[in-house]
Amino acid sequence: MKIIAVSDTHVRRFDDLPERLVRLMDSADMVVHAGDFVSADVLDEFERRYEFVGVYGNSDDAEVKERLNETEVFEVEGVKIGLIHRGNFINEFHDLGYKARELGVDLLVFGHIHRFVVERFGRIIVACPGSPTQPRLSASSCAVISVEDGRMEIDFELVQEFACGIDVRLRT
């Protein structure tokens, strides 16, 4: 199963998302969003178009926060995946490792920091897909998670030709 993970899209209209990101999501079996849609209209489109799981973020409007939970846990082909935007953590990555353990997940996808990162805590992986629209100290990105027979791989894809204001060229 191919899952596209995104976070921190920060757009008012789905059509404002990068074309490359939309193509990747359209090719996936599932899309997960770790918060900061900003607009309920964008959430509506994710729910309409995709097999979808999402959580709200700190920048989401009241309607998004009413419709989504702060945390989600689901299972795909024997892999337990958690989804969270952020918590009030002192040491973000270390504390997210503890949160993942508390949730009993193999992979915790989180948002808020606008940059892609993967950390391992024993058998648990904690990953932020970055932001496809407002990257910070990072490239404009999403995560591609492949799950098959209880095994998981995670890769990152660049989705725009800029990273923190610097032009980069994507391989096509």
Cβ neighbours around 122 below 10 Å, total? 8
> DSSP label at 132?
S
Q: What is the pLDDT along the chain (172 residues), one digit of tens a residue?
A: 999 999 999 999 999 999 999 999 999 999 999 999 999 999 999 999 999 999 999 999 999 999 999 999 999 999 999 999 985 554 566 788 889 999 999 999 999 999 899 999 999 999 999 999 998 888 899 999 999 999 999 999 999 875 555 555 555 4
Q: What is the pLDDT of residue 139?
A: 87
Q: What is the pLDDT of residue 39?
A: 93
* 19 domain-assigned: yes
Q: What is the pLDDT of residue 95?
A: 83
Q: How many domains does the chain fold into?
A: 1
* 52 domain-assigned: yes
Q: What is the pLDDT of residue 50?
A: 99
Q: What is the pLDDT of residue 98?
A: 87
Total count of residues recorded for the chain = 172
* 114 domain-assigned: yes
Domain CATH number, residue 102: 3.60.21.10
126/26 Cα distance (integer angstroms) = 25
132/126 Cα distance (integer angstroms) = 19
* 141 domain-assigned: yes
Q: What are the respective helix, strand and coil percentages of the chain, to the nearest 5? A: 25, 35, 40
* 172 domain-assigned: no
Sign of CA dihedral 15, 43, 87, 31: negative
Q: Which residues pair with 3 in a beta bridge?
A: 30, 145
* 79 domain-assigned: yes
Quote the domain boundaries for residue 78: 2-167
* 136 domain-assigned: yes
Q: Which residues pair with 156 in a beta bridge?
A: 143
